[in-house]
Structure 1
Amino acid sequence: MINRHIGIISVSLVIALVLQIMPMPIQADVYRPDWVLLVLAYWTMALPNRVNVGVAFICGLAMDILLGTALGVHSFALSIAIYVLAANYQRLRNYSVWQQAIVIALLGALYHLVLFWLQHLLTSIYFQFDYLWPVLTSMLIWPWAFWLLRRTRRRFKVS
């Protein structure tokens, strides 16, 4: 029973990783939502005892490998964002989906700013506003991602 629950969570994270690296046209790639952050945020709010900072760190390592960035950059940024979420999950669960979307936008902004800071230290890139477009798209997609993941969790009785 536990293996099935872990399997469903793992499959959703693998799908998020695939969506994160899926090729897109250059004009649309700037707006790519943070799929991994969205899925991790949902599972952290729904099942904080199963999905937490450790899972975020492992997913971040997978993203570093898949995207070819310096090892640990996405891990650190995801871990910080999920830590903030996990520390406040009881309060955030009671918010409406639209209020949660605003919190997801703030977490996405934190994630991207930490990611920029680390990449700036390593490669001396400069900040552009385009780095924050995924924050807006993640916020807009959150209600549908929440609905889909909640439906999956209830259908397969993941607890």
Structure 2
Amino acid sequence: MRKRNLVIWISLLVALVLQIVPLPTQVDVYRPDWVLVVLAYWSMALPHRVNVGVAFLTGVAMDVLVGTTLGIHSFGLSICVYILAANYQRLRNYSVWQQAIIIGLLSALYHLLTFWVQHLLTDIYFQVDYLWPVITSMVLWPWVFWLLRRTRRQFSIA
């Protein structure tokens, strides 16, 4: 039981590391939402284990790692995972490409929510570049889905 939970937490830790790994400035604009994509997979596959509470804790860890105001990423991830958890039975029946579109919409919602909260707290203005990760997260979804599904089956996580 603990080994199975450890696999989920390790995948979230890897997503957090990928989220903060330094990239060149030209490429950093396109960085996918690794944490959101991994949380989306686990919340659709195992909604009784990975839920809004896990998303909130992961968001707090991301806030600390990125250095933003505490709660910004927690808020966005919690809302997105709540939407996924509320509709997981329907979303499981979609093809991977249809799920990628849903992930793109959730990524857009996540970025708009985090921008909105940051705009309320600081003096930033919206730029279209904020939405590039939506496209890369959509493109990344089928591969992350395949990798995490394979991992879940290999370790018999249910």
Sort the TM-score into its range (normalised by shorter chain): over 0.9
Tell me the C-alpha RMSD between the 2 structures.
0.4
1:28 alignment partner, SS class: helix
* TM-score, normalisation: structure 1: 0.99
- The unaligned stretches of length 5 or more in structure 1 are none
- Report what 2:97 is aligned to: 98
Give aligned-pair identity as a percent. 72
* TM-score, normalisation: structure 2: 0.99
1:141-152 to 2 correspondences below 5 Å: 141-152=140-151
> Match for 1:118: what amino acid?
V
Cα distance in structure 1, aligned partners of 2:54 and 2:102 = 20
> Match for 1:63: what amino acid?
M
1:63 alignment partner, SS class: helix
Q: Which runs of 4+ in 1 moved over 3 A?
A: none
- The unaligned stretches of length 5 or more in structure 2 are none
- Report what 1:125 is aligned to: 124
- Report what 2:76 is aligned to: 77
> Match for 1:72: what amino acid?
G
> Match for 1:14: what amino acid?
L
Cα distance in structure 2, aligned partners of 1:51 and 1:106 = 20
Aligned positions, number: 158
- Report what 2:11 is aligned to: 12
Cα distance in structure 2, aligned partners of 1:134 and 1:100 = 16
- Report what 1:154 is aligned to: 153
